[in-house]
Amino acid sequence: MSIAWSFLGLGAIPALVMAAPVAQQFTLSNGMTLIVQPDRRAPTAAHMLWVRVGAMDEVDGTTGVAHALEHMLFKGTPTVKPGEFSRKVAALGGQENAFTTRDVTAYHQQIPSEKLEAMMLLEADRFANNQWPDDEFKREIEVIKEERRQRTEESPRARMFEAMNAMTFQASPYRRPVVGWMSDLDAMTPQDARDFFKRWYTPANAAVVIAGDVDVAAVHAMAERIYGAIPSRPLPTRKPREEPEQQGARQMDFRAATEQAMVALAYQMPKLTDPQARDPASQDALALTVLSAILDGYSGARLERALIQGQGGKRSRLADSAGASFGLMGRGPQLFFLSAVPAPGVASDTVISALKEEIARVASEGVSEVELKRVKTQWIAGEVYKRDSVFNQARELGSYWALDMGLEAGDQLMAQLNEVTAAQVQSVAQRLFSEEKLTTAVLVPDPTKRKTERPANERPPIPNH
């Protein structure tokens, strides 16, 4: 689909959803943020700890350290032995995991609401007192390297997108893979992870998000007592690393041992910085979000009809799959993606042309009110169903906090998207899809690149987090 839906909130939607209790935000005595969203429908609570640090905060030579540190937070404190954290969460009747992105690192659990205090004590301990022997790091970095092998190096498509990303961005730290380059993982030391922890894991750079069957005042008092007691440290000054404007098309052929080709097109685009913004760049970003949904937002959308169904059987099938996506917002620059897997016997250039033709069609003919209504109705329905999950509520609130946006950002964003017109969508298709802003990657099947793969039973499992 066309957007990271954790960044979408509620707009003009049914009263039953709007009647839900409003989230509240507090600043604890040490500078840590607390966000509480009551939802009394079930005796459960989602507990998330967000740290505003991700792969984009790394420096060359230590790529992957943010993700490696996420793994190490499961490896102990002076009072919790390696591996014991997960066992303690399970004993509370909870489930837990974590994730690292370019922008953030987040740790999350879903537990019976009556166990929230015990969960806070566990999470606050590892946030403040993460500690482990060097041997634990040396073992875990091998797990991370295996994760990179299985998810990236053994996937030609993943390697192509990684290489494409490194070519698309030049100055922006988004050019680096979240998992890190293998050479950096080989060279990473336990001290690299400890230094990263000391630099970024400070209360002023973190937020605790609670959603579920809780009382706001009680949670505030509990968080102040537990999390507010963590000593604060100065937060490093972040230096701007702006991506220079692209001045010409970039193209790469990525040769790999694969049966099928693949094509991907990435256009540098304006992003949304504030859901309330009315500046031209933000309005264009909203229209691009709608455009991506019209191209690939539902079964039978434009790309599927044109490339996969062959315009309802009026022409030959061009692709086995096709998609569109737009990042909309993030701490770094955003891209509009088009991609497709050519059907057998169809040249990659033909599919690239077909993808561009769909943008050109919107530019020349516009989009219908029926299409607009359909994608907006689907968004609204998705938001209604998403509110059934306390985890999704917590994740959305944390996502907006990470981008320095308010509690109302989701409502404001959906309201803005609902206002996007057909004329705006046609306008961005006419103005913004310049060849000068385009990076194209083609996955080229090459049997000479084939290597002997390890049998499945020789591949150690990789953890969820």
Q: Catalytic site residues?
A: 70
Q: Calculate the alpha carbon distances from 16 to 211, 384, 388, 390 in Å.
A: 18, 9, 12, 16
**Rounded Cα gap, residues 289 and 278, in angstroms:** 15
Q: Which residues pair with 105 in a beta bridge?
A: 51, 100
Direct distance between the N- and C-terminal alpha carbons of the chain, in angstroms, rounded to an integer: 23
**Which residue in the block uniquely carries the two structure tokens 């937020």?**
207
- Tell me which residue of 289, 263, 427 sits closest to 2, measured CA to CA: 289
d(CA 169, CA 119): 40
Q: What stretches of 387-463 show up as alpha helix (H) in DSSP?
A: 390-402, 409-419, 422-431
**Of 43, 40, 21, which Cα lies nearest the Cα of 112?**
43
DSSP-assigned beta bridge partners for residue 45: 111, 212
Amino acid at 66: A
Q: What is the DSSP letter of 214?
A: -
- Beta strand extents in 156-261 (DSSP E only): 206-212, 250-256
The rounded distance, in Å, linking the Cα atoms of 92 and 89 is: 5
Question: Which residues does 217 contact at the CB level (< 8 Å), separation at least 6?
Answer: none
Helix, strand, coil content of the chain in percent (nearest 5): 45, 15, 35
What's the chain's Rg over C-alpha atoms?
23
Angle between helices 422-431 and 280-296 (to 10 degrees): 100
CA 121, 124, 129, 132 dihedral sign is positive
Helix (H, G, I), strand (E, B) or coil at 92: coil
